[in-house]
């Protein structure tokens, strides 16, 4: 079940993000997607620098799993991915790496030149 926070409805990134969240059905055997409204649950905002309209982070057995996307920020994804399959590929990569005990995994695609910050 995917919930929706009030803050997520006001931003133009939401439609693309929503399409990617439909990946939940495909990945349900090895991952769960949680939506958290950071205005209602601000406990980790400072620790994880959560201030973007949309942020994807990965955890495995209560441990934050970092992912090298080529952007310099290995903690999170803070842009909408192109499509659902791209999102699924990243989740599968994180899952495989985390199961092997890795705290940092390499993304299946390099995003260093795709997005400008």
Q: What is the pLDDT tens value at each position of the chain, 117 positions in all?
A: 334 444 444 545 455 556 667 788 889 999 999 888 899 999 999 999 999 888 999 999 999 999 999 999 999 999 888 888 999 999 999 999 999 999 999 999 999 876 554
Residue 2 forms part of a structural domain:
no
Residue 69 forms part of a structural domain:
yes
Residue 111 forms part of a structural domain:
no
Residue 117 forms part of a structural domain:
no
Phi, psi of 60 (to 5 degrees): -135, 120
| CA 73 – CA 65 distance, rounded (Å) | 12
Q: Give me the number of domains the chain comprises.
A: 1
The enclosing domain of 47 has a CATH number of 3.40.30.10
Q: Containing domain of residue 16, as a range?
A: 7-106
Instruction: Map residue 100 onto helix, strand or coil.
Output: coil
Residue 40 forms part of a structural domain:
yes
């Amino acid at each position: 079940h995917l919930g929706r926070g009030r803050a997520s409805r006001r931003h133009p990134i939401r439609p693309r993000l929503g399409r990617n969240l439909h990946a939940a059905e495909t990945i349900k055997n090895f991952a769960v997607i949680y939506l958290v409204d950071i205005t209602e649950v601000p406990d980790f905002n400072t620790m994880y620098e959560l201030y973007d309209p949309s942020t994807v982070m990965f955890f495995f057995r209560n441990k934050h799993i970092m992912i090298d996307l080529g952007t310099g920020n290995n903690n999170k994804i803070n842009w909408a991915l192109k499509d659902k399959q791209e999102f699924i590929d990243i989740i599968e990569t994180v899952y495989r790496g985390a199961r092997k005990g890795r705290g940092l995994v390499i993304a299946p695609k390099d995003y260093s030149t795709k997005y400008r910050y």
